Amino acid sequence: MDGDVLSAFNDAVSNGSPGRIETAALALMNEAMANPSDPDATVAAFEASLKLAEQEECAAAIPGADFAMRQQATASHPLMEDRRVLLAYARYCDDSTSESRSELEASLMNVTEPSMLTLRAWIDLYTGYGGSSRWRDAVRTASAAADHMRPFKSSIPQLYFNATESAAISHFMHEPSAEAHERLYRWQLEGEQYWAQVWNSGEEIPDWLEDTRWYGDAWMHAADMMYRSFEGQASSSNGRAVRNQLESMSNAQRASVSSAYSIPMLSRMEYYEPGERPLPFCRGRVNQTRELSYPSVAGWNMRVGTVIVRFTIDADGNVVEPKLLAAVPPGNFEDRVLDTVSEWKFEVHDGQDLSQCRVAGREIYQTVGFYIIRR
């Protein structure tokens, strides 16, 4: 094989633009296919096709992936199971059909060691199913992806929690049963547990983990609101059918699941130099003079959901900087909540010496649930 072609490929991968990488990958792939007996041909064709797939040039990646697949099996990179995944993935992302999806899923089942290729393939599969509301398929593939990633959770925590989140939410969307409710709860607790571990380690909490924490809380709260909406609906045959589909965890089941997750106490506290400690916050309450109302469109569609917001209080007790932390489902309630809480005001309890406490800077977290009582 031409060493200049290989050098150009390595240089493009290290320093090149997407266009340079694509050009160099095509050249290397063609060079490998023209020299099938070269000992480096299989690796070169595999790596070139992989880069083309990563650039979403999947049709161009298929010939090289197919060539690598037909080359002799070896005990070193690329292993046959990896070659099979690459070919299946290139075919799937070029033309997502039921046949190509099945081929990709079958190829992934034989892989034990995650790679960026297998991780991307699993994610594309379950997000594709979820995006088209094929919840049963999304549950199956997201669950398999989480199992694939679990032994390597500490190395790829974001991808692992993305898979467990998708599996839990897809299960609940497919069938809001007690089993699905429990799965949501396990996802929430595992995310909270990992969040506390990262916090106690002194590391900065990444944005994705902060989002996971709040969305876990929001989904569990929204699920509870959904079950509450159907309380007392067992009197009619239609009500019994609904109740069969909407079976929540029992209190005993919830306690059993909770006991399986040890959430560490938070050990990292704010430190102040002597004489710099600020005054304690004044005791008081948020006066919700403008009450939250159910958005009419959501009401007409019998929507149930949860919004979690955080806001800060200024020196005059006004709400400033309201921030949306989570909304389930998105696009239904968050605007109404943000608009309403902006008009609330913090009122200090009577009898406090305002020279000995402060209001400004107080952060308040508010969870708002929307549900409909059916009579």
pLDDT by residue (tens digit) across 256-314?
Answer: 999 999 888 887 666 566 667 788 999 999 999 888 888 765 444 557 889 999 999 99
pLDDT at 303: 75
Asked whether residue 302 falls in the same domain as residue 350, the answer is: yes
Residue 319 belongs to a domain: yes
Say if 345 falls within a structural domain.
Answer: yes
Mark whether 302 and 365 lie in a shared domain: yes
288, 354: one domain: yes
**252 and 305 belong to one structural domain:** no
Q: Do residue 84 and residue 71 come from a single domain?
A: yes
Q: pLDDT value at position 239?
A: 45
| CATH number where 86 lies | 1.25.40
Residue 274 lies in a domain: no
Q: Nearest-5° angle of CA 190, CA 192, CA 195?
A: 110
Do 131 and 46 reside in the same domain of the chain?
no
Question: What tens digit of pLDDT does each residue of 3-41 get?
Answer: 899 999 999 999 888 999 999 999 999 999 999 999 999
How confident is the model over 206-222, as a mean pLDDT? 96
Domain that holds residue 135: 118-174
Claim to verify: residue 42 and residue 90 sit in the same structural domain:
yes
* 257 falls within a domain: yes
Is there a domain that residue 253 lies in? Answer: yes
Q: Are residues 43 and 25 in the same domain?
A: yes
- Final residue in a domain of this structure, among 111, 142, 159: 111
> pLDDT class for 73, splitting at 50, 70, 90?
very high
Contacts of 48-51 with C-beta under 8 Å, sequence gap 24+, read 48/9, 49/25, 49/86, 49/90, 50/86, 50/117, 51/9, 51/13, 51/21, 51/22, 51/25
Mean pLDDT for 316-329 is 94
Asked whether residue 375 is assigned to any structural domain, the reply reads: no
At residue 8, the pLDDT reads: 93
278: in domain:
no
Domain boundary pick from 174, 195, 210: 174
- Tell whether the torsion through CA atoms of 249, 252, 253 and 255 is positive or negative: positive
